[in-house]
Amino acid sequence: MSTLTVTRTASGTAMAADALTTFNDLRLPPDLDAAGEKVIRVGAACVGIVGYTAHHLVIQDALDHFPEADLTSRRGIFETFRALHPILKDEYYLNPETDQEGDPYESTQVSLLIAAPTGIFGVYDMREVHEFTRFWAMGSGASFALGAMHARWPEVEAGRLDAGALAALGCEAGCRFDPASGTPVTVYEVEG
């Protein structure tokens, strides 16, 4: 899977991503992966995608062809993904079926983090959108990343760590302890 982190501090907003791609038990190291980026730029925002590698190209293409995309607020992101869902099904052949019985909605099958000048957000497979105040992580290394960022938050408050450094150290913790995440870590700063 991956480790993605997103942070928002007084110094700014940033996202960090690991560089390893995995297919079940097979690892595709970054030096052999010609297109290993997990983060795309959409206007002023960064969008980091976890899960199936096919999601990256699909979401990038869908957002490139969806000028109405609003990644500036929780409501705007919800409306964007609500409008994208039928497009993903019809034009990209998304299979909305899951293995879980009783899901209340069709799944978009995508989980991603958004770092925008206006905030940091997470979108989950049922199109639920969460807005975070300080930091968050997604992917198989998320629990390690969250623990590391939580432990180092006092350094942010003291002005010794900025948003990019906090995002990087969270992602590095995921890479250190999660077998499906790997270095190097790339940090994406958000302007504004």
What is the chain's Cα-based Rg? 16
Q: Is 61 helix (H, G, I), strand (E, B) or coil?
A: helix
Q: Note whether residue 26 is domain-resident.
A: yes
Q: Is 173 helix (H, G, I), strand (E, B) or coil?
A: helix
Q: Please list the residues that pair with 135 across neighbouring strands.
A: 7
pLDDT at 44 over 90: yes
- CATH code: domain of residue 62: 3.60.20.10
What pLDDT sits at residue 95?
78
Q: Work out how many domains the chain is built from and give that number.
A: 1
Q: Which domain holds residue 136?
A: 4-97+104-180
What pLDDT sits at residue 118?
97
Report pLDDT digits (tens) over 112-167. Answer: 999 999 999 999 987 899 999 999 999 999 999 999 999 999 999 999 999 999 99
Q: Note whether residue 60 is domain-resident.
A: yes
Helices within 65-107 (DSSP H only): 74-92
Q: Note whether residue 186 is domain-resident.
A: no
Instruction: Please state whether the peptide bond connecting residue 104 to the residue before it is cis, i.e. omega within 30 degrees of 0.
Output: no
pLDDT at 108 over 80: no
Q: Note whether residue 135 is domain-resident.
A: yes
Tokens of 152: 């180092």
